[in-house]
Every structure is written in C-alpha cells, then in structure tokens.
Amino acid sequence: MSSNRMDLVVLDMAGTTVADGGLVEQAFAAAAEKLGVVAGTADFDSKLDYVRATMGESKISVFRHLFGDEAKAQQANAAFEEAYGSLVDGGRIAEIPGAREAIEKLAADGRTVVLTTGFARVTQDAILAALGWQDLVGLTLCPADAGGRGRPYPDMVLTAFLRTGAVASVADVVVVGDTSYDMLSGVRAGAGVVAGVLTGAHGRTQLEAHGASHVLGSVAELPELLAELGR
C-alpha cells in the first residue's frame, strides 16, 4: 500500500451518486418487449432476475448473455438505452442526497473525481444533463471509453488512472459503487480503497463478499472516511 494521498476517486453513477428509482428494470421491460419477450412469462422473469443480479455490469454484456446472438444483443441494448433515455428526460432521476456536495468536497480537498457507468455514452450524457452535472467533474467514462469492457473488468478504473495522471500508483485510487461488480472492478484494478454504498442494488453481504474494504451508508460519507484514513 502506498503512503501517498488517495487523490483519484472513481465513482459509479446509478445507485451510487444517482438515484434512478428502478428505471433500469423499466427500460429492460421495454427492450425485452421489442424482442418478443413478454412481461409475466417465465422467460421474462428469468431474464429480469439476471438483470438484477448483474447490476453494474456493462449493459451490452448483459444483453449478449441474455440473447446470445450479437445482432439481437445490439438491438436489445439500443432499445434499452432509448427507453432509459426517455425516462431520464421525463425527469425521473435525481442525485443521491449529498452526492454533489461530496464530489465538490473531494475536489476542494485536491482530489480528482471521475464518474463511471455501465450505460452507453448517450445515456450517461443524458443523466449528467438531467442533473446539471455536465461540468461537475473533469472526466466521465463509459465502457466504450475503456476499450468496450465494462465492470467487473478493471478497465474503466485503469483508464481513469491513466488519463488523469492524478496518482502515481493504483494503490492511491479510491473506487466507490453500489454493486458487487463495482467492488470486483476496484479489487481487480488494485485500488487502495474499494468502498460499497448501501443506496443501490446490493447489500452489505454482497459488497463485502466481492471485496469491499469499507461499506458506507452513502457516498456522502466518503470525504469523512478518507479524512479518517489520513489519505
């Protein structure tokens, strides 16, 4: 473990800094319908269970698993992103209480904050616009920005490390998210702190089982945690 300050903080969006009120499931239902998967059937329920279990993973990867065929996966992903974007534009999204304040506090402390997502760029931009967060941080990343691999791969964390040059070692990176996939990506990237938050998809048991070094009530507690760690 490095003794340097932890000056790079990589934050997940939906469930961690952004509250979307279950829009992922609603958007999935719309996408599934376009591919002939009818709500209320065993097939639909099985696929929805998989979506819930893989919250945090790149959505195109989820659809590749569910539909197998690449063309169908791409069709489902496009339908999902369109549906989610429409719901976002309808005002059905908000920040996790205290998230913006925490990000601003981290920046004021001299830390570089990067926002990441498993959504496509167009959806990420729609979320940022809906919240008025376009200029909140200097770098936002989606799987396409990291070579196409989203969580649980470490690629987005490592891309943040390389692009920002904010720290000399991956041990000085903080990764924060609400899902087991967020935790895995942080662990695989070698992050010094991998913090789970209880405002999203997964609970304490899942987060700790997948490598969380700390579990917080919400991202609002993060500046205090780093201050306590003296890093």
166-185 residue pLDDT tens: 999 999 999 999 999 999 99
Domain boundary among 46, 70, 89: 89
Average pLDDT over residues 92-97: 91
On the question of pLDDT at 20 being above 90, the answer is no
Residues 104 and 212 in one domain: yes
Q: Is the dihedral of CA 46, 15, 18, 6 positive or negative?
A: negative
Residues 132 and 225 in one domain: yes
Residue 231 token pair: 């890093």
Q: What is the phi/psi pair of residue 13, to 5°?
A: -100, -90
C-alpha neighbours within 13 Å on the C-beta side of residue 192? 22
Residues 153 and 216 in one domain: yes
Residues 64 and 100 in one domain: no
Using DSSP's 3-state secondary structure scheme, residue 140 falls into strand
Domain of 115, CATH number, reads 3.40.50.1000
Q: Work out the pLDDT band at 1, boundaries 50, 70, 90.
A: very low
Q: How many domains does the chain have?
A: 2
Residues 82 and 171 in one domain: no
Residue 198 token pair: 């209880």
Residues 131 and 40 in one domain: no
pLDDT at position 218, please?
Answer: 98
pLDDT at position 2, please?
Answer: 52
Residue 98, sorted as left (phi over 0), alpha (psi -120 to 50) or beta, turns out to be left
Residues 108 and 185 in one domain: yes
The per-residue pLDDT of the chain, averaged, comes to 92
Average pLDDT over residues 123-131: 91
Q: Is residue 1 part of a domain?
A: no
Average pLDDT over residues 182-201: 97
Residues 38 and 147 in one domain: no
Q: Is residue 63 part of a domain?
A: yes
Q: For 212-221, write each residue's pLDDT tens digit.
A: 999 999 999 9
Using CA atoms, how far apart are residues 151 and 146, in angstroms rounded to an integer?
10
pLDDT at position 54, please?
Answer: 85
Residues 13 and 47 in one domain: no
Residues 118 and 223 in one domain: yes
Using CA atoms, how far apart are residues 4 and 184, in angstroms rounded to an integer?
23
Q: Work out the pLDDT band at 155, boundaries 50, 70, 90.
A: very high
Kindly report whether the global pTM for this prediction surpasses the value 0.75. Answer: yes
